[in-house]
């Protein structure tokens, strides 16, 4: 299933064998062998390997793209072109993006930033309008040309509502204006944009989506889930992904210590564009691509092998989306929302984007073909759909080591975690939510009892299950330090702890973005730990995260990121 990883594993054993042979030579076992030659040797007391065989390491050596030696500094007998003294800094495996959207991040980087702090400056409708007016003026956007913004958040806007068509018409009725909700699952548009997208009073709600309306049926501008597609096709669907935007996005990821990036909902055209840019320019980081498989007749492209890497681009599997967003109140829950969206009944539970028979069919087909699956399930009712589909698939074919990843898994119950452990599902938790939307979940989305269990990492750890955590960039920036801090502390914007019982210690939070993230994508053979033979993917941090209070983790800085032995990010004055 993962021929790339198997090939890497063979290489790894070869390099490991050479490293061991070098140590034996230096011990006098075979005087014919020369000492190890390293490009760089890191030495210090704060090396976190996530490899039990090298838990006490104080030195790591790399040559080319590989780690060639890990051990105690006093045991090193090789030669290094450069030696780096860590001092109080820490060396770890490079961080792995367990779930995110590289292409979306690249495409949205130059849009109007209508997010709230700490990502943007929007605090109310008026400040949102001011941002858009400034964006139009500064960019010299002519009347008739699209104005697109990313990241507005109704939970953080003072009015506690979505901006509607009237709010955006007040900015300009000469420009079509479209704003993408911070979740990526909703959008809002002005009258001109709705007209351009062909959305009117007579447009029916599409399957799996909702056009929010005023009395009488006129769209109010806010679109949910699949209802956003007509708008997105106008503003996000055209043209190739610019190489410069792709490289810029990778640079942002690298600045956060990330060495492997995920494109977790890619089109075939975007995958081919990654390959094209990689072949022409090279890429700074490894990119894992999961193709969207939301059409019943979707087939994997011929001539490509799942799990193989070419020029750092790997076709990793497929992506399914079963429901929406909890902060947008479209996730599919088994119990009603604490406060339903305006105009909806008290028993509103969100909705699934697809029927159960579609989920059953796709899961059975890809499980039988041994194609890894990422499946978006925010609500526990959506999680139930996936678990039921896997159970049914297992009745016909052995699932084997499938490692199906439940993306977000925000509201999974204890009984569902038990089922995941039994079936072999790997949950990837959007634990950054505890900071960004923790107060909103407690006070409006889920209520206090359910909210304290969002992203139940401690419950999962107690079952000895592998799990990961992620940022889902560009929903929130790919800031791994803040993600680790949020996972360990679970402190909301208002400074309250949301679910103390689900906190992780810092070591386990770090493991979720290194060793566990490599396991999730079948790359534990070549990534995720500081082990001889593995890829030389490393991150240098300004302090040792294990020697500081978890509450102070936001004081950490990424000093250097090394991907396949090459420095791809470096702070000034290292």
The model's pTM = 0.90
Q: Which long-range contacts (CB under 8 A, 24 or more apart) does 333-340 make?
A: 333/379, 333/380, 333/381, 333/411, 334/379, 334/380, 334/381, 334/384, 334/413, 335/450, 337/444, 337/445, 337/446, 338/443, 338/444, 338/445, 338/446, 338/447, 338/450, 339/443, 339/444, 339/445
CA torsion 527→266→379→98, rounded to 10°? 10
Give me the pLDDT at residue 1, please.
Answer: 38
User: At residue 2, does pLDDT exceed 80?
Assistant: no
Residue 272 Cα distances to 192, 237, 267, 268, 299, angstroms: 33, 15, 9, 6, 15
CATH superfamily of 243-531: Metal-dependent hydrolases (3.20.20.140)
When pLDDT is cut at 50, 70 and 90, the band that residue 5 belongs to is low
Measured distance CA(517)–CA(537) in Å, rounded: 13
User: At residue 9, does pLDDT exceed 90?
Assistant: no
447-461: average pLDDT: 98
Measured distance CA(529)–CA(348) in Å, rounded: 45
Could you read off the pLDDT of 342-386 as tens digits, one per residue? 889 999 999 999 999 999 999 999 999 999 999 999 999 999 999
Q: 122-235 belongs to which CATH class? A: alpha beta
User: At residue 301, does pLDDT exceed 90?
Assistant: no
Contact 331, 340 (CB under 8 A): no
Measured distance CA(270)–CA(321) in Å, rounded: 18
Q: Which of 450, 545, 543, 556 is nearest to 504 (CA)?
A: 545
% of the chain at pLDDT higher than 70: 93
Tokens representing 468 are: 């990961």
When pLDDT is cut at 50, 70 and 90, the band that residue 155 belongs to is very high
When pLDDT is cut at 50, 70 and 90, the band that residue 116 belongs to is very high
% of the chain at pLDDT higher than 90: 88
Helix axes 356-368, 380-396, angle to 10 degrees: 50
When pLDDT is cut at 50, 70 and 90, the band that residue 564 belongs to is very high
User: At residue 75, does pLDDT exceed 60?
Assistant: yes
Give me the pLDDT at residue 18, please.
Answer: 37
77-91: average pLDDT: 97
Measured distance CA(209)–CA(321) in Å, rounded: 13
122-235 and 243-531, same CATH topology: no
Give me the pLDDT at residue 33, please.
Answer: 63
When pLDDT is cut at 50, 70 and 90, the band that residue 246 belongs to is very high
- Domain spans, the chain: 122-235, 243-531
Give me the pLDDT at residue 448, please.
Answer: 98
* Region for residue 118 given its phi and psi (left: phi exceeds 0; alpha: psi -120 to 50; beta: otherwise): alpha
497-512: average pLDDT: 98
Give me the pLDDT at residue 34, please.
Answer: 79
User: At residue 290, does pLDDT exceed 90?
Assistant: yes
Q: How many CB atoms lie within 10 A of CB 413?
A: 16
User: At residue 574, does pLDDT exceed 60?
Assistant: no
DSSP state at residue 241 = P
Q: Is 42 helix (H, G, I), strand (E, B) or coil?
A: strand
Please say whether the dihedral angle defined by the alpha carbons of residues 209, 212, 218 and 219, taken in this order, is positive or negative: negative
Task: Supply the DSSP string of 251-297, one letter for each residue.
Answer: HHHHHTTEEEEEEEEE-HHHHHHHHHHHHHH--SSEEEEEEE--STT
């Amino acid at each position: 299933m993962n021929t790339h990883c198997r090939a890497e594993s063979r290489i790894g054993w070869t390099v490991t064998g050479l490293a061991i042979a070098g140590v034996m030579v230096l011990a006098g076992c075979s005087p014919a062998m020369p000492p190890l030659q390293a490009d760089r040797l890191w030495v210090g007391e704060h090396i976190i390997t996530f490899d039990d065989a090298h838990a006490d390491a104080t030195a790591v050596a790399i040559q080319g793209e590989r780690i060639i030696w890990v051990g105690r500094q006093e045991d090193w007998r090789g030669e290094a072109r450069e030696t780096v003294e860590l001092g109080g800094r820490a060396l770890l495996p490079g961080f792995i993006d367990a779930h995110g959207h590289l292409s979306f991040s690249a495409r949205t980087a130059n849009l109007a930033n209508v997010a709230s702090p700490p990502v943007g400056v929007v605090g109310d409708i008026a400040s949102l309008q001011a941002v858009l007016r400034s964006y139009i003026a500064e960019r010299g956007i002519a009347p008739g040309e699209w104005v697109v913004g990313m990241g507005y958040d109704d939970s953080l806007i003072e009015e506690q509502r979505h901006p509607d068509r009237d709010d955006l018409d007040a900015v300009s009725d000469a420009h079509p204006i479209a704003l993408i909700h911070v979740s990526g699952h909703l959008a809002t548009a002005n009258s001109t944009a709705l007209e351009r997208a062909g959305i009117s009073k007579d447009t029916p709600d599409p399957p799996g989506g909702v056009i929010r309306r005023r009395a009488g049926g006129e769209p109010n501008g806010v679109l949910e889930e699949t209802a956003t597609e007509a708008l997105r096709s106008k503003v996000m669907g055209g043209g190739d992904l610019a190489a410069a935007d792709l490289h810029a996005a990778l640079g942002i990821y690298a600045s956060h210590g990330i060495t492997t990036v995920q494109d977790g909902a890619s089109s075939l055209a975007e995958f081919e564009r990654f390959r094209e840019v990689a072949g022409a320019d090279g890429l700074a980081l490894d990119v894992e691509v999961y193709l969207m498989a939301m059409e019943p007749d979707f087939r994997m492209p011929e001539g490509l092998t799942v799990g193989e890497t070419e020029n750092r681009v790997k076709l990793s599997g497929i992506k399914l989306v079963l429901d929406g967003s909890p902060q947008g109140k479209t996730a599919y829950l088994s119990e009603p929302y604490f406060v339903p969206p305006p105009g909806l009944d008290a028993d509103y539970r969100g909705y699934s984007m697809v029927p159960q028979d579609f989920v059953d069919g796709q899961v059975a087909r890809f499980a039988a073909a041994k194609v890894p699956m990422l499946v978006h399930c925010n609500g526990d009712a959506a999680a139930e759909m996936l678990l039921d589909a896997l159970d049914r698939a297992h009745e016909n074919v052995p699932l084997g080591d499938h490692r199906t990843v439940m993306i977000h898994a925000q509201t999974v119950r204890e009984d569902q975690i038990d089922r995941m452990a039994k079936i072999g599902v790997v949950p990837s938790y959007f634990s950054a939510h505890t900071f960004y939307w923790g107060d909103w979940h407690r006070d409006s989305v889920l209520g206090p009892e359910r909210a304290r269990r969002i992203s139940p990492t401690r419950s999962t750890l107690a079952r000895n299950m592998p799990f990961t955590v992620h940022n889902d960039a560009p929903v929130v920036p790919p800031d791994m330090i803040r993600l680790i801090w949020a996972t360990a502390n679970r402190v909301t914007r208002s400074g309250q702890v949301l679910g103390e019982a689900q906190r992780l210690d810092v070591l386990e939070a770090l493991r979720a973005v290194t060793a566990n993230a490599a396991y999730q994508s079948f790359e534990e053979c070549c990534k995720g730990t500081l082990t001889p033979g593995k890829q030389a993917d490393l991150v240098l941090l300004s302090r040792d995260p294990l020697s500081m209070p978890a509450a102070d983790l936001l004081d950490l800085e990424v000093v250097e990121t090394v991907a396949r032995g090459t420095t791809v990010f470096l702070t000034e004055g290292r």
